[in-house]
Chains A and B, each alone.
Chain A
Amino acid sequence: DAGVIQSPRHEVTEMGQEVTLRCKPISGHNSLFWYRQTMMRGLELLIYFNNNVPIDDSGMPEDRFSAKMPNASFSTLKIQPSEPRDSAVYFCASSKDRFGNTIYFGEGSWLTVV
C-alpha cells in the first residue's frame, strides 16, 4: 500500500495567495484527518471526515480555511487568502475507523507564506 499521499511536499507562496493542499488517504480507510504543526502550538487537529462527511471542524482556525472531501480517495485543505502566520507543516492522516484508532500519517506539506 502506498500510504497516505500528500502534495505538495513543500510550498512557498506570497501573502494573499490561495493555497491548496491535497491528500489521498489509504484505500479502504473511512476517516481522514487534517492536522497543523507549528513550533508555537505543536500539533493541532483542524478537521476530520468520516465517510467523506466533515464530523468536527472546530479546529479550523478561521474562515480563510476550508476543507473538502469530494470522494473517498481525495481531500483538499484550502487557505484563501494566505497569511504568514499560516506557515506550518500540514499533515493529513487516515484511519479505518472514525476514532483514529489505527492512524497513518502522510509525510506532511511544508507551507511557507512570505
Chain B
Amino acid sequence: KNEVEQSPQNLTAQEGEFITINCSYSVGISALHWLQQHPGGGIVSLFMLSSGKKKHGRLIATINIQEKHSSLHITASHPRDSAVYICAVRLHNQFYFGTGTSLTVIP
C-alpha cells in the first residue's frame, strides 16, 4: 500500500480549464510538498504546506490535516503547465512520494 495516493494519474485538459489534482496520505505528516517535473526531467518545488492554503500565481495548494488530503489547483491552465505533478509528504526524516499526475494541456 502506498502511503501517498494521487489522483488522477493522467489528466488532459483544454487550455483555460480549471484543474484539480488530489493527494491523499495515510501517515501523520510534518509537511506536504507539491513538485512539478517538466518533460525534460527537471524538478521544481512548487509549494510546502503544513496547514491551510498557499497561492502562487495561477497555482493554489490546500491541505486538510484532519482529512489527510491536499489539492493542487491550476486556474486558467496553459500548455506550459503540461508536466508531471508529484505530491510528497514528510514525517520528521522520512519522505514519501506519490506516483505523480501527468497533466497535458491542449491549446
Interface on A for B, CB 8 Å cutoff? 42-45, 48, 55-56, 89, 91, 93, 99-105, 107-108, 110
Contact = CB atoms under 8 A, between A and B. Distances in A.
Interface string B39-56: 001111100100000000
Interface residues of B, number: 20
A102 B86 contact: no
B45 A110 contact: no
Contacts of B88: 43
B7 interface: no
B41 A103 contact: no
Given A107-B41, A107-B42, A110-B41, A102 B99 contact: no
Given A44-B97, A105-B43, 20 more contacts: A42-B86, A42-B99, A43-B97, A45-B95, A45-B97, A56-B93, A89-B41, A91-B43, A93-B43, A99-B30, A99-B90, A100-B33, A100-B90, A100-B95, A101-B48, A102-B48, A104-B45, A105-B35, A105-B42, A105-B44
30 contacts: A42-B86, A42-B97, A42-B98, A42-B99, A43-B97, A43-B100, A45-B95, A45-B97, A55-B93, A56-B93, A89-B41, A93-B43, A99-B31, A99-B90, A100-B48, A100-B90, A100-B95, A101-B31, A102-B45, A102-B48, A103-B33, A103-B45, A103-B48, A104-B45, A105-B35, A105-B43, A105-B45, A107-B41, A108-B42, A108-B43
